[in-house]
Every structure is written in C-alpha cells, then in structure tokens.
Structure 1
Amino acid sequence: MPSTPHPTDAHALILDAIDRGTYGPGDRLVESELADRFSMSRTPIREALQRLETQSLLTRDGRSLVVASLDHDQMAELYAVRTELEALAASLAAKHAAPEEVRVLRAMVEEDRALLDDAQALSRANRRFHAQIHRASHNRYLVQQLGMVHRSMALMATTSLAVPGRGENALEEHARIVDAIAAGDGAAAADALRAHLSTAFEVRLREEAERLG
C-alpha cells in the first residue's frame, strides 16, 4: 500500500490525488486551486506540475495542464511492460517471500471478497495486493520500476473491475498467484500473473470496442 505523502511534497500529493482518482484523465489542474487544497504556496505546486508534465502524467490543453489519458497503443504498450515486470516480481516472490508475507497476501484475497459490490474500493485493494507482491520480490529496483508503471495505470479513466463478474474472477486469479508463490514455484507464479493481466487487458479492450462502437 502506498505510503502517505509528506505534507510538504507537492509532487507526491498531486500524484497521490491522481492515483486515488481525485483527478482523472482530462481534468484540469489549476495552480491556485491546488495551492488551496494542499495549503502551500504556488511555487512548489508550479514546480510539481512541471515535473509531472515532464513525466507525461500531465499534458497541455492550450495554456492549461490536464491529467493525461492513454490511447489504444499506449495502453497496449503499458500492459506489455507491466505484464513482464509483474511476472518477474511474482517469480521472485516465490523464491524470497517470507511466510508472513505469503499469509498477508492470502488474507488480502479473502478480505477483498467483501468489496465485490464496490468497484472503486476493489480497485484500491487490487493495487495494494499487487504492491504487496512487488515488495515480496525483495528487489528494490524492480519495485521502483513497477511504481512508475502503476502511476501510469492511473491514467486509465475506468477500472476493469467495474465490469460485471470481473471482480470475482480477478480474486480467483489472485488466489492462484498466491498459491504458486506459497508453493515456491516461480514459473507457475509468473504464468498465473501473466494470465491474470492478459484477462484484465482483454476486458479493457472489450470495453474500448463497445465504447467506440
């Protein structure tokens, strides 16, 4: 689960607001409004917005900065990278996770079943679950790279977990990933993670096709 941003870190505060869905793709970010929201001067806000634009999390719309959105190709590229990095994390977790970490993962799966009627809460829980796998890999460089990938995931306007039936299926997929990690089977854990994200990507593609008609 992401740590709470330091109250004086404008970049982290804005990033956290995007990650939590306070600001979604296409939303305009205004210096003065952000300064009021976070009770800080406009200078660190301005510097944070410039940094977020450099990181391609914000884009220009005339003179305004708005939260970026992902087109079809960007989404496909993101899933390709995410899938391989997450599969590596699962494989490493199978080798290095402590028994306590495995128990936490298993408990997350069971506790998340109570959230099946709340897609947004389930989406947040899903991020916590994946972040726990990242940490269980015990590879700080991989965790950093996956952090960047998951920040970009926030640029998708909807969660695939909102599709009827997807939440329950996703939790079953999570359970299979945990079983493989608990068994110390790195190859099976990686395969289960790849299958999980392949299904999630397919759900998003179906959503996109229906939206575009």
Structure 2
Amino acid sequence: MKETRTGQKDAYEMILEAIDTGTYRPGDRLVESELADRFGVSRTPIREALQRLETQSMLTRDGRSLIVASLDHNQMADLYVVRTELEGLAARLAARHATPEEARVLRDMVEEDRGLIGNPEALARANRRFHKQIHLASHNRYLVQQLDLVHRSMALLATTSLAVDGRGAEAIAEHDAIVTAIEAGDGATAHKALSNHISKAFVTRLKIDANKEV
C-alpha cells in the first residue's frame, strides 16, 4: 500500500515511524524498492536512510539483506536501566518547569486514555505520546534528545507490555499518579512515580519473555 509523503518528513523519519508503530517488526526484511513505493520517494533517500538506521543499530545484516534488529535479554535490561533513570529525571524536571497548560495537557491525556483500556495497540501509541509530553515539559533539550534515542530503541521490542491482562489499567493509574505529582510541583514524588512505572513495565516484559520459554 502506497503512502504519501506528509509535511517535512524524510525517508529516515518515515521508516523509523513505521518501525515504531509496528508496521515493520524485529526480523522483518526491508527492501529499497518496496520502501520507495510505499513512501512515494526515490530509492536514493531510502538507501541513505537505511544506511543511517544500520549505523544506529536499528537495522542489522542478514546476508545481503537488511532486517529490523531485535534486542536480546541483556540489551533489553540495559535499555530499561537507562530509561528508568532518564524518565525519572524528566518527571522531576517537569514538576519544576511544566507550565499550567502543559500540566493540563498531561491530565487530559490520562483521562482520555482511560477509554483505550482493552485496546493495547492504541494504548501503546497513547503511552508514547504521554511520555513524549513529559519529556517536553522537562524543558531540557539535551534530556529530550537522549530520551528520543532510548524510545527509538524501544521500538525494537516486538510486543507491548500493555497487552498483558490488567496492565493497561495499572499503567493508566500510574500515569495518574505521575501527573498528580507534576501538578503539585513535587519533583521527588514525580521522579519516584515515573521510575516505578517503568520498573513495573520492565517486570511485565520479563514475565512475557519468561512465558515464551515455557
């Protein structure tokens, strides 16, 4: 299915978004001609985008083909350690620097996302949007850049922990606690709440992987 190029998105951004949204999953092979047709661009920017993604370890070689990379257990654990620390810091800074309008947007997101419980894919998209809003509310461009790198790597996890029964409702309750702390300007509690949120997501993902081995 051909997709039209929108706004200022380049080939790199479009392929990265396709990986992030699950259009292409770990292990999927990416072919220049197919990508050029899908996104309506020439093969040259596609080739350059694929080279860039390979350099960033988002893609890996399988013979002569490029496939979407996957994370092993240790890589996933390392990623969650870094994510927990950076996300916690973002929440602490958001509690300190978020404008009333930014806090309002976060609160509205929590309330709206309650309606997505039971729809893991939609909730996963909303979850990414929610976390991105906290990153922006930190008002620290360098932290936002690092978190963008972390969340890009999160796209290499084939499944969402929000698909586990009951996890969606728990996650929304955790989001509520994070926003409450940010609204109160309580950086320490916001840091703890968001770090706890990521830790619980990691435990859930570990259980998913453990069940695959049974």
User: Do they fold alike, i.e. is TM over 0.5?
Assistant: yes
- How far 1:6 moved relative to its partner? 4.3
What is the letter of the counterpart of residue 79 of structure 1?
Answer: Y
- How far 1:41 moved relative to its partner? 1.3
1:122 is paired with a residue whose SS is: helix
- How far 1:117 moved relative to its partner? 1.7
Q: In the alignment, does 2:17 pair up with 1:13?
A: no
Q: How many residues align?
A: 210
Contact 1:87 1:190 in 2 (8 A): yes
Matched with 2:42 is 41
CA distance, structure 2, for counterparts of residue 91 and residue 43 of structure 1: 43
Per-residue Cα deviation, 1:103-136 (whole angstroms, up to 9, x for no partner):
1111111100111121000000000000000000
- Report matched runs for 1:163-174 at 5 Å: 163-174=164-175
For structure 1, which runs of at least 5 residues remain unmatched after alignment? none
CA distance, structure 2, for counterparts of residue 189 and residue 210 of structure 1: 32
Matched with 1:27 is 28
CA distance, structure 1, for counterparts of residue 191 and residue 40 of structure 2: 44
Comparing 193-202 and 39-48, the one that deviates more: 39-48
Matched with 1:68 is 69
What is the letter of the counterpart of residue 104 of structure 1?
Answer: V
Contact 1:6 1:12 in 2 (8 A): no
Matched with 1:122 is 123
CA distance, structure 2, for counterparts of residue 153 and residue 176 of structure 1: 23
CA distance, structure 1, for counterparts of residue 166 and residue 152 of structure 2: 25
Matched with 2:91 is 90
Q: TM-score, normalised on structure 2?
A: 0.96
Q: TM-score, normalised on structure 1?
A: 0.96
What is the letter of the counterpart of residue 209 of structure 2?
Answer: E
CA distance, structure 2, for counterparts of residue 169 and residue 114 of structure 1: 13
- How far 1:7 moved relative to its partner? 5.3
- How far 1:55 moved relative to its partner? 0.2
Per-residue Cα deviation, 1:125-183 (whole angstroms, up to 9, x for no partner):
00000000000000111111101100100000000000000000000000000011111
Matched with 1:132 is 133
- How far 1:5 moved relative to its partner? 6.4
What is the letter of the counterpart of residue 77 of structure 2?
Answer: A
Contact 1:5 1:13 in 2 (8 A): no
**Alpha carbon RMSD of aligned pairs, Å?**
1.2
What is the letter of the counterpart of residue 62 of structure 1?
Answer: G
Per-residue Cα deviation, 1:32-73 (whole angstroms, up to 9, x for no partner):
000111111111111110110000000011111000011100
2:60 is paired with a residue whose SS is: strand
For structure 2, which runs of at least 5 residues remain unmatched after alignment? none
Identical columns (%): 71
